[in-house]
Amino acid sequence: MSSLKIYQSNGEYQLFVQKDAAEMAAQDGVSTVDIQVDESNTYQTMDGFGGSFTDSAAYLINQILDEDVRNDLMKKLFDHEEGIGISVVRNPVGASDFARTVYSYNELPAGETDHEQEKFSIAHDLDDVIPLSKQALAINPDIKFMASPWSAPNWMKTTGSMIAGQLKEDCYLAFAKYFVKYIEAYAANGLPIYAVTPQNEPLYEPTHYPSMLMYAYEQAEFIKNHLKPAFIENGINTKIFCYDHNWDRPDYPLHVIDEDEASVDGVAWHWYGGKPVAQKQVHMAYPDKEVHFTEGSGGEWVPAFEPAFSNLLRTGIEILRNDSKSFVLWNMALDEENGPAVPGFGRSTCRGIVQVNQKTKELVYTLDYYGLAHFSKFIKPGAVRIDSTSDAEIRTVAFKNIDGTIAVVVLNDSEMDQNIRIVLANEVVIHCFAPSKSAMTVVK
């Protein structure tokens, strides 16, 4: 078993610690649960795990941190050996709720329009988002970039603002060209966009940060008759994922795909409502459509360490067991006040993957970093999910990597300590002790 790697998280002060089998030996008087791993039953192939370079996150990392600290952080985020090997980056197209200002790539004075996108510019992103994205790609060439707008530019909207409202019917083609310009501009900077969604959280219309209501019939019309044709016309192979919202409305992506199955490559999901089984339900209806989990933020609404950490592992395992090819958290970084957020937002309760203190420049790796590490460091792009027994108390997910290694993520979600025995091809890989609410990743 010399090739065996074990990383355990057991409490706030023992996060993602490498251990050997002897340190975790099964204990007498504790019941044993067998986890059967079967590599003959296979499921989805992983694209990866990650977070988002929002305007706020990119600013904090690129401008607040000293260069040597920033470079070390980037390695700890994106390098598989020195860090946790993040391999998916979802960048907002324009401002999101976590931005220092409200901006798009083609804002115009009231009354003006630019349907041909002649004034389009990603100049804003050249300061922080693009340099960090390029640095991340240099560290990890396997990265896939996804992109989602929180709103179309002001002049395309029924409100004349990036805040609330809907996309005007006569601006559908202009918005499609906006996507084309964005993809081409990023490609010119050496950043290929793997996939886009037409709208972030299309059924949520807050009035304190950029948003745009887009019903399922509108999204179907936009994709079928404008976005996909614009991609074809311009030779763009970027994938289109519909929906990009919570698990509680699987009817939305089903409607969009029903309208034009050929133009939709997959479905994107968030975790702020419903259950992850919705992913599988839609996937069963359309098994050739990709499943992606594109946003889930930790935050103060689950303040205590154990519930928050357990929730990340529990939900991550279930996201992967319900066919997702990606597991993407939210902000790569936020500051000591959970910001900066757009003006008028108020104090955020979200938590970043790391915290950058604007006053002291202190860098803190949050529980989200270490929770994500249990997946991202060892389940690499191209890994295939394989069968593993799992229940509400001992939750598991297992993958076989391209190099033949097998990674099993385990959460003892019960209130009792347990001995865990992982069995692969009738061989006991490890028989170890797993305290209540502890997590471990075993790699063989």
DSSP string, 367-401: HHHHHHHHHHTTS-TT-EEEEE---SSEEEEEEE-
φ, ψ (nearest 5 deg) of residue 298: -80, 165
Quote the CA–CA distance of 178 and 122 in Å, as a whole number: 11
Written as one string, the DSSP assignment of 82-127 is TS----EEEEEES--SSSSS---SS---TT---TT-TT---GGGGT
Please tell me whether residue 183 adopts helix, strand or coil conformation.
Answer: helix
Quote the CA–CA distance of 268 and 88 in Å, as a whole number: 13
Token duo for residue 155: 């002049």
Which CATH architecture best describes the domain 5-43+387-443? Answer: Sandwich (2.60)
Counted residue by residue, the chain has a size of: 444
pLDDT < 50: residue spans in the chain:
1-2
Rounded to 5°, the CA angle 358-163-119 comes to 90
φ, ψ (nearest 5 deg) of residue 170: -80, 5
Q: Determine contact, residues 287/257, Cβ cutoff 8 Å.
A: no
Beta bridge partners of 167: 157
Assess if CATH 3.40.109.10 describes domain 47-381: no
- pLDDT confidence of residue 303: 80
- pLDDT confidence of residue 12: 83
- pLDDT confidence of residue 306: 87
CB atoms within 10 A of CB 69: 15
Quote the CA–CA distance of 137 and 27 in Å, as a whole number: 44
CB atoms within 10 A of CB 328: 25
- pLDDT confidence of residue 6: 96
- pLDDT confidence of residue 221: 98
Q: Where are the domains of the chain?
A: 5-43+387-443, 47-381
Quote the CA–CA distance of 372 and 400 in Å, as a whole number: 18
What is the DSSP code (8-state) at residue 170? G
Beta bridge partners of 99: none
Q: Determine contact, residues 210/157, Cβ cutoff 8 Å.
A: no
**H or E, element range at 281:** helix 277-285
Interstrand relation of 266-270 and 326-331 (parallel, antiparallel or unpaired): unpaired
- pLDDT confidence of residue 2: 44
Residue bearing tokens 């609404």: 301
Please tell me whether residue 354 adopts helix, strand or coil conformation.
Answer: strand
Quote the CA–CA distance of 332 and 339 in Å, as a whole number: 12
Quote the CA–CA distance of 77 and 377 in Å, as a whole number: 10
Summarised one tens digit per residue, pLDDT across range 177-231 is: 999 999 999 999 999 999 999 999 999 999 999 999 999 999 999 999 999 999 9
- pLDDT confidence of residue 1: 38
Closest by CA position to 370, among listed 4, 12, 6:
12
Written as one string, the DSSP assignment of 390-437 is --SSEEEEEEE-TTS-EEEEEEE-SSS-EEEEEEETTEEEEEEEE-TT
- pLDDT confidence of residue 302: 85
Same fold, 5-43+387-443 and 47-381: no
Quote the CA–CA distance of 57 and 332 in Å, as a whole number: 6
